[in-house]
Structure 1
Amino acid sequence: MTRFDADSPKERRKLFAEAVTAHRTRASPFLTVEVEHDPDVDGEDSPAPWVQFADQTFNMDVTEEELECAKSLLSEFPEFRIDQMESPEEAEGTNLRIIARSDANRLAAFVDRVFTDVYGRDEDYCAWVAAV
């Protein structure tokens, strides 16, 4: 893997698939994908969204509205399922864990759709693989 960011759907999915492959090859603890903070979408005080993948599980933090969008997206990925949802009293959202046993390209497509469908990013958003 030689590049770490992409800003078109085709290039992002290729980047994400390469990151999944690198993660699996290296047996790294996890891989993390991040996007830039967008105050118009995320709100002024909220952090930028991220998606982490490890042990065939996606991990992400979502608001109540984003959780509903994630559940809707999962209907298009029937091989994925919600494994755990935690909503600590001191947190404003839910930590969502999704079991995802699939090939790198299918996982990459899911990550891309999470950022557009769940986190409300435009089709030309830029994503970074922050950790592999």
Structure 2
Amino acid sequence: MTRFDASDPQSRRSLYVDAIAAHRDRGSQFVTIEVDENATAENPEAADLGVPWLQFAEGIVNLDCTGDELERLKSLLSEFPAFSIDELTRPEDAEGVNVRVSATADSDRIAQFLDRVIRIVYAFPETTRVWVVEL
């Protein structure tokens, strides 16, 4: 991979596909994507649990979300029939919910889902910059 950030829908989806391919080629534990810290400053509600992040590995998308974000995620899943909530964890010592979403799809569809999570679940605008922070 030669680039690690993107700030428009098409570039973000391309970045996600490339990151998933690099993750698989390297045999790394997972790939982690974070929303740019500047975007969270502009959208503090979406950063209630800190900088929003998504992880992908072995057909699972992992993310943290608030109760409202979880409801938006559940609604979004109706557009992605090959995706389903696999596990919800509500740690006693933390706010929010950790969600594991099973993703039985190719890299392109996973990339579409990741981008929609950033836009719909976390409610960030179309121009939000994301970073691949771990491969």
TM bucket, shorter chain: over 0.9
Q: Unmatched 5+ residue regions in structure 2?
A: none
Q: Which residue of 1 aligns with 2:30?
A: 30
Q: Which residue of 2 aligns with 1:120?
A: 123
Q: Unmatched 5+ residue regions in structure 1?
A: none
Q: Which residue of 2 aligns with 1:61?
A: 64
Q: What secondary structure sits across from 2:43 in the alignment?
A: helix
Aligned residue type for 2:20: V
* 1:41 counterpart = 2:43: yes
1:25 CA drift (Å): 1.6
Stretch of structure 1 that moved more, 85-94 or 37-46: 37-46
Q: Which residue of 2 aligns with 1:80?
A: 83
Q: Which has the higher helix share?
A: 2
Contact 2:49 2:65 in 1 (8 A): no
TM-score by length of 1: 0.94
Q: Which residue of 1 aligns with 2:74?
A: 71
Aligned length: 132
- Runs of 4+ off more than 2 Å: 39-46
Paired-residue identity, %: 48
Evaluate the alpha carbon distance shift between residue 102 and residue 88 of structure 1 in structure 2; reply closer, same or farther with a 3 A threshold. Answer: same
